Amino acid sequence: MKQTNEIIKFDLLKHLKLQSGELNSLPYFLATEKHFSQTQYTAPFNNYFYTIGLMHGDAAISIGTKQYRLNKGSVITIGPGITCQWLGNTLPPMQTFFFYDEVFLNNFSSTFFFSLEFFCPDAHNLLQFEGADLQEIEQLFHTLDVLKHRPEAIGGILFAILQVLQKKYWQVYSAGKQELSPKERIMAQFRSLVAKNFARHKDVSFYAASLHITPKYLSEVLLETTGLTAKKWIDIHLMQEAKYLLSHAGLSIKEVAHKLGYADSSHFLKAFKKQESISPSVFKTRKNQPALK
């Protein structure tokens, strides 16, 4: 596949389905090492779906503005709206389950699904499994493989995987927390919505309406649970994506502004400088300078 430095609207899930000959309308796909060995696409791309990847070997990946070194037993979690890139000439050995939220929401309550912090752009995207825990997650992926042609069973298996990942995430990153409070659930649902919509919707009112609460209450909840207002969170998501595009894509500042939904470059310039304390052009220049030896 032709390589490019530009981030294009490449749908990896659709590409893998076409390549494997599985031209079905199922909103999920389990890709194996065989699928990835036939795929040479390693340029940056936007994620349009949810991803849970179980690594069988060493690799490196950029997810948003973070870079991760992976090895056997690493599990990566990527949500929609996140730009990512495999850092290598070929895709690594892994099993990866791609799915859209309808797989889960058609079977279970949205409350649990949208409380999953590890699908948010600002969260940690890597969990490391070993020993009995690794055997458990490997068995769940094996069950997915065995029942992948039984759509009615997929939701239940996915629910089990997500519960294992949630428990592990809280153990590693949240001091062993057992569950989210009602306000933390609002926070998680808000972050999930922002990840999907930040380029099109920059007003707090859109997210408050989607959550059936007032903008004032939404910001109060976020201030209490994260220390940041709703508007600040939206700006953070925008600037995370802006920094990635300025660092890794062959796009001009004007093109980055357009991609992020700004009416004109001046609004983008003002927002970026307010958030980062430097202009996009200065940031771009610094990122593109070769490291001194």
Residues 110-124: tens digit of each pLDDT: 667 777 888 876 789
The pLDDT of residue 293 is above 50:
no
The model's pTM = 0.70
What does the alpha-carbon distance between residue 126 and residue 67 come to, in Å, rounded to a whole number? 10
For residue range 68-91, list pLDDT tens digits in order.
999 999 999 998 878 788 888 777
User: Rounded to 5 degrees, what are φ and ψ at 233?
Assistant: -65, -45
List domains and CATH numbers for the chain.
12-173 (2.60.120), 182-286 (1.10.10.60)
The pLDDT of residue 41 is 63
The pLDDT of residue 164 is 95
Place of tokens 């926070």: 187
Give mean pLDDT, residues 151-177: 90
For residue range 10-61, list pLDDT tens digits in order.
667 777 777 777 767 788 899 888 877 767 666 777 777 889 999 999 999 9
Closest CA to 89 of 47, 53, 39, 125: 39
The end-to-end CA distance of the chain, in Å, is 34
Could you give the percent of the chain with pLDDT greater than 90? 32
**pLDDT band with cut points at 50, 70 and 90 for residue 2:** very low
What's the chain's Rg over C-alpha atoms? Answer: 19
Give mean pLDDT, residues 155-168: 93
Give mean pLDDT, residues 260-275: 87
For residue range 203-237, list pLDDT tens digits in order.
999 999 999 999 999 999 999 988 888 998 888 88
The pLDDT of residue 4 is above 70:
no
Report the relative pairing of strands 74-78 and 50-55 from DSSP bridges.
antiparallel
